[in-house]
């Protein structure tokens, strides 16, 4: 790779020392989050989820599930069939941009409307249906059924929801319509859904991770280590799933020594400034944007499209005036390309700048930029996963993962494993499994556990 570009991208390459240092800081943060006396100073809030039983695989019954937390929202009907088996029917609904930042009550009315239509379509309007609500934002829970939103993330910003119980808000929206007999029996995070759905298939699963629009993880912790948990929840069960909310890591400056000027710029332009800094280096909502900002700089420094002469300034202007024009899915497409066709890369360059057939050299440079940004993201995610695995007493730990970045990027899994091999304690064994529909199946499983507990 040519020297200018290599120099430019150096800021994204984490040295072994930096990896170790981020790892130590992350572990400290989780320990602080778990302790009542230090929780308020920690970024990673380590919320107890009140999910204390992992699935056995024998769970049965029909459950509704709702999945809100990314660009789409889904309604699902999950039939748990015992023998580790389940079927899922689902419908995707868009969340219009104005609803993402409009009054909260309108968002919940929209959800209740979609829910009623779905139930009607499946001829279940008169049936009693328990519902598990996968609500993928940071929430303080007081039990399985209550979840108070602490802050919106991922571009959502509806007023009137922070500080409120989202289970109650959904319940009230369903009641206002009065056309379905649905009871909200459990609220959960998508990471919990991922862990539960993977544990349903593989009982060694102890960690659930999402690398999608947002980024976060949960894991199974011994109740004695969860200082935030009241004694009554420590009597019967000895474990609990803890939602780390690791996306917030770095808000006290712990990542400043590795953050770049581009990370600062992404943060400055976001609707949640100075928040979710780890998430802004690792998740789908931001990775494409990082590439866009780096490309502008590379064009200014004559480090890419060298043959384009004056047109380089035009390309830079296109990128500067169109926020989000470079999508995270482009990174996966570019890194999936095969030589010598480079079909995805050429199509994307044409879409962006109108260049008919970009040179191999420019294609390779763009790919290099993408690789530096995606491998840094994977390294950071691996640091977090390793920190959690090393806290768990079991010798073998399976990690369930989902999310568009992990799922569609051709090398994210390899990048993660490479770093994990360096950080997971040598007496431990780990594996990673792709989750199948954690937000649906996982929500039904938590609802099933909730019904059993009741």
Tell me the catalytic residues: 154, 190
Nearer to ligand BGC, 52 or 153 (CB): 153
**Interface segment toward ligand BGC; rule CB under 6 A; list 92-100, 136-144, 328-336, 379-387:** 136-144
Rounded to 5 degrees, what angle do the CA atoms 54, 55, 61 make? 140
Report the C-alpha gap between 217 and 44 in whole angstroms. 10
Report the C-alpha gap between 131 and 133 in whole angstroms. 6
Q: Enter the tokens of residue 214.
A: 């947002």
Q: Enter the tokens of residue 231.
A: 């004694």
Nearer to ligand BGC, 245 or 362 (CB): 245
Q: Enter the tokens of residue 325.
A: 């024009």
* 136 is a contact residue toward ligand BGC (CB under 6 A): yes
One of 189, 239, 282, 344 touching ligand BGC (CB under 6 A): 189
Residue 39 in contact with residue 33, Cβ under 8 Å? yes
Q: How far is the CB of 213 from ligand BGC (least distance, A)?
A: 6
* 190 is a contact residue toward ligand BGC (CB under 6 A): yes
From 379, 5, 34, select the one nearest 240 (Cα to Cα). 34
One of 114, 131, 210, 296 touching ligand BGC (CB under 6 A): 210
DSSP 13: P
**Interface segment toward ligand BGC; rule CB under 6 A; list 96-104, 186-194, 264-272, 352-360:** 186-194
Distance of CA 3 to the CA centre of its chain: 34
Report the C-alpha gap between 316 and 314 in whole angstroms. 5
DSSP 134: E
* 134 is a contact residue toward ligand BGC (CB under 6 A): no
Q: How far is the CB of 208 from ligand BGC (least distance, A)?
A: 9
Nearer to ligand BGC, 136 or 345 (CB): 136
| Range list of H helices, 337-359 | 343-353
Residue 433 in contact with residue 399, Cβ under 8 Å? yes
Residue nearest ligand BGC (C-beta atom):
214
One of 55, 193, 208, 247 touching ligand BGC (CB under 6 A): 247
Q: Enter the tokens of residue 121.
A: 């379509």
Report the C-alpha gap between 218 and 389 in whole angstroms. 11
One of 48, 132, 193, 214 touching ligand BGC (CB under 6 A): 214
* 191 is a contact residue toward ligand BGC (CB under 6 A): yes
96: left (phi over 0), alpha (psi -120 to 50) or beta: beta
DSSP 165: B
Contacts with ligand BGC, 264-293, as mask; x by CB under 6 A: ---------------x--------------
**Interface segment toward ligand BGC; rule CB under 6 A; list 28-36, 102-110, 132-140, 176-184:** 132-140
Residue 113 in contact with residue 424, Cβ under 8 Å? no
Q: How far is the CB of 189 from ligand BGC (least distance, A)?
A: 5
Report the C-alpha gap between 69 and 152 in whole angstroms. 10
One of 44, 52, 134, 216 touching ligand BGC (CB under 6 A): 216
**Interface segment toward ligand BGC; rule CB under 6 A; list 8-16, 113-121, 213-221, 305-313:** 213-221
**Interface segment toward ligand BGC; rule CB under 6 A; list 32-40, 210-218, 354-362, 405-413:** 210-218
Residue 79 in contact with residue 86, Cβ under 8 Å? yes
Nearer to ligand BGC, 315 or 440 (CB): 440
Q: How far is the CB of 138 from ligand BGC (least distance, A)?
A: 5
Burial-class residue 105 by CB neighbours within 10 Å (0-12, 13-18, 19+): middle
Q: How far is the CB of 277 from ligand BGC (least distance, A)?
A: 12
Report the C-alpha gap between 165 and 127 in whole angstroms. 26
One of 43, 141, 153, 404 touching ligand BGC (CB under 6 A): 153
* 138 is a contact residue toward ligand BGC (CB under 6 A): yes
One of 25, 45, 145, 154 touching ligand BGC (CB under 6 A): 154
**Interface segment toward ligand BGC; rule CB under 6 A; list 6-14, 56-64, 211-219, 433-441:** 211-219
From 233, 128, 138, 242, select the one nearest 185 (Cα to Cα). 128
Interface residues with ligand BGC (CB under 6 A)? 69, 136-138, 153-154, 189-191, 210, 212, 214-216, 245, 247, 279
């Amino acid at each position: 790779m040519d020297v200018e570009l290599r120099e430019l991208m150096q800021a994204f390459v984490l040295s072994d020392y930096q990896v170790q240092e981020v790892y130590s800081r992350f572990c400290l943060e989780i320990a602080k989050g778990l302790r009542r006396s230090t929780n308020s100073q920690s970024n990673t809030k380590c919320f107890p989820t009140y999910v204390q039983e992992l699935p056995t695989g024998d769970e049965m019954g029909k459950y509704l599930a709702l999945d809100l937390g990314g660009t789409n929202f889904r309604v699902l009907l999950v039939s748990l069939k015992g023998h580790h088996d389940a079927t899922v029917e689902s419908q995707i609904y868009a969340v219009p941009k104005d609803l993402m930042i409009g009054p909260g009550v309108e968002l919940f009315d929209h959800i209740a409307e979609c829910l009623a239509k779905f139930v009607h379509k499946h001829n279940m309007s008169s049936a009693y249906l328990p519902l598990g609500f996968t609500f993928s934002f940071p929430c303080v829970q007081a039990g399985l059924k209550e979840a108070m939103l602490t802050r919106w993330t991922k571009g959502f910003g509806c007023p009137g929801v922070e500080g409120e119980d989202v289970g109650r808000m959904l319940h009230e929206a369903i009641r206002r319509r009065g056309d379905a007999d649905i009871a909200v029996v459990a609220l959960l995070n998508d990471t919990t859904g991922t862990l539960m759905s993977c544990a349903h298939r593989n009982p060694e699963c102890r960690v659930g991770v999402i690398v999608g629009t947002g980024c976060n993880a949960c894991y199974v912790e011994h109740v004695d280590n969860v200082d935030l948990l009241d004694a009554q929840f420590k009597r019967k069960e000895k474990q609990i799933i803890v939602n780390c909310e690791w996306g917030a890591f770095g808000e006290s400056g712990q990542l400043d020594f590795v953050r770049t000027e581009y990370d600062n710029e992404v943060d400055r332009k976001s609707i949640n400034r100075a928040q979710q800094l780890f998430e802004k280096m690792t998740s789908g909502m931001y990775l494409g944007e990082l590439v866009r900002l780096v490309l502008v700089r590379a064009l200014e420094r004559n480090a890419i499209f060298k043959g384009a002469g004056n047109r380089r300034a035009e390309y830079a202007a296109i990128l500067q005036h169109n926020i989000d024009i470079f999508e995270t899915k482009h990174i996966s497409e570019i890194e999936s390309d095969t030589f010598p066709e480079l079909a995805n890369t050429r199509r994307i360059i044409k879409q962006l700048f109108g260049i008919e057939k970009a040179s191999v050299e420019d294609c390779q440079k763009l790919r290099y930029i993408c690789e530096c940004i995606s491998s840094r993201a994977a390294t950071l995610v691996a640091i977090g996963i390793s920190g959690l695995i090393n806290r768990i007493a079991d010798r073998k730990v399976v990690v369930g993962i989902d999310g568009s970045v992990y799922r569609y990027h051709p090398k994210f899994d390899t990048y993660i494993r490479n770093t994990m091999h360096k950080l997971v304690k040598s007496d431990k064994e780990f594996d990673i499994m792709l989750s199948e529909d954690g937000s649906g199946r996982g929500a039904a499983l938590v609802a099933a556990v909730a019904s059993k507990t009741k």
